[in-house]
Each structure stands twice: as structure tokens, then as C-alpha cells.
Amino acid sequence: MVAMCTAIVSVDPSSPVPVLLVGVRDEFVTRAWRPPGAHWPGRPGLIGGLDLRAGGTWFAVDPAAPRAACVLNGRGRMAPEQARSSRGELPLLAAAGGGLDGLDLPRFDPFHLIRAEPGAVRLWSWDGAELAERPLGPGLHLVVNRGLEGEGPETGDSEDTFMSERIAHFRPRLEAAVRPEPGEGGVARAWGGWLPLVDGDGLPRDDKRALLPLRDLGGGGVWGTTSVSLAALSRDGLRYDFSAAPGDPGAWGRVH
């Protein structure tokens, strides 16, 4: 299974912008999607990119709340194919303020779901058998497909090495950079020293440490980062920036 998404969460209650959320989406590059917008009539307050295959999203925000949510593939027991629900429903549910109570979780493949608000960040991890829920307190947190800080069990495949090396490379660089406090202005000004890092830190996309991987799986299948989303949550509102061309500094634009 190829699943290399990454989420980065920074929590600093003393900051004017207490919560920063970075969502790196990895997928088959031919999977059709649309850029962020208000794509869901039943949830008119939500904004996010639209997955055209399943109708959900990987990263959603509610600017009025303010609240943001993102989902990553997890590891574990997959749901029965004939009864499977799309994980793309989950960020919409979480960004709208919901939790997982009442969901038929065995219908979902394993996932990690993050819900971020200025005063609280929660992480839910489902492995197909058990659901774990925890708060993410002050500090920097990296979530990969193996879980928070890659703490989940190893499978012995190459993805374990990639996840471990990605965390080992990017964690100290993010910690060393001045933590941004995004407000008004352009994306580069808002995100400062973090922007070159979430734009890949200059690493080749086939590097084992890459945050923005791109891999030819053969048979016409190319897997890699197709977008990066940035959300900054303050008690006064939310800023949402997006790139549909990962690694290109000129591709960033403000969504909200």
C-alpha cells in the first residue's frame, strides 16, 4: 500500500495564532479533483478541495468557527469493499464540529483525523479494529501514515524508512525556524521560514526524506504529492493558503 501523506501541527497557546495546520496530500496524480471552494451544498460554511471520485475532501475549513480538519490514510485492517465508506467524509464532519460518535467505523479504511480549533486540537486514529483519541497539546506534532511521530508498528516495507527519514529531516528544521504568525499579506510574508520547508526544503522528490514525494510505480501509475494546504487559526479567524503545484514557490495562493 502506498500512502505517504503528512500533517504538521504546531500549538502555541501564547501566540496570537495558537494553531497552525499543514496538510500534505499524496495520491495518484491522475485522480481527479478540484481546488478549494464551497463544494458541498449541505455544508455551506465549509471550504476545501473536492475529490471528484468520492465527493469528499482531504482538508476542510470552516472560517466562521474557526476550525480546520484533515485526514491521512492509516495502517491496519481494511474495510470490506462492498460496505466501504469514503474517508473523504471525515474532514467535512470534523470541520463542521462533529466527532466520530455514531459512525459505523468498520466501514472505513484505517485513518488519522485531525480537528484543529484555536483552543484545542484532537487526533483520532482508527486501525480497522480500535479507535484511539488524544489531544495534541503545546508543541510541534508530525503525523504520518504510521501515526503520530511515526509511532505505529513497522511493517518492514520501504515506506517505514521514508516516514522515519522524513520526520528526522523536517522536525529539527521546523523547530529551528521562527514559528510564523500568519495574518494579512502574501503567502511568503505570512508563513516566513516555514514556507520553503513545506515547499520541500529543496529535496529531490524521489529522496527518501522528501515531504513532497513523486514516485513512478510502473504500469502508468505515478504517486505523489498533489497539493499542500496551510491553515492558521486565531481566535479572530482563520487563514487558508493552498498550492496545487507542490515545490513551486509561485504556485501559492490565498483561499481565505
Q: What is the CATH number of the domain that holds 23?
A: 3.60.60.10
202 within domain boundaries: yes
* 178 found inside a domain: yes
- 131 within a domain of the structure (yes/no): yes
pLDDT at 112: 98
In a domain, 1, yes or no: no
Tell me the pLDDT tens digit for each residue of 235-253: 999 999 999 999 999 999 9
Share of the chain above pLDDT 70, in %: 98
Q: Say how many domains are in the chain.
A: 1
| Domain range enclosing 142 | 6-254
Check residue 1 and give its pLDDT: 42
20-72 pLDDT tens trace: 999 999 999 999 999 999 999 999 999 999 999 999 999 999 999 999 999 99
Q: In this predicted structure, what is the pLDDT of residue 158?
A: 81
Q: Indicate whether 199 belongs to any domain.
A: yes
* Mean pLDDT for all residues in the chain: 95
pTM of the predicted model over 0.85? yes
Asked, for residue 142, whether it belongs to a domain, the answer is yes
Read off φ and ψ for residue 151, nearest 5 degrees.
Answer: -80, -10
SS3 242: strand
Q: Which three cell numbers stand for residue 1?
A: 500500500
Is residue 101 domain-resident? yes
Q: What confidence score (pLDDT) does residue 4 get?
A: 64
Q: Looking at residue 3, what is its pLDDT?
A: 53
DSSP 96-160: TT--STT--GGGB--EEEEEEETTEEEEEEE-SS-EEEEE--SEEEEEETTEETT-SPP-SSHHH
Could you tell me if residue 205 is inside a domain? yes
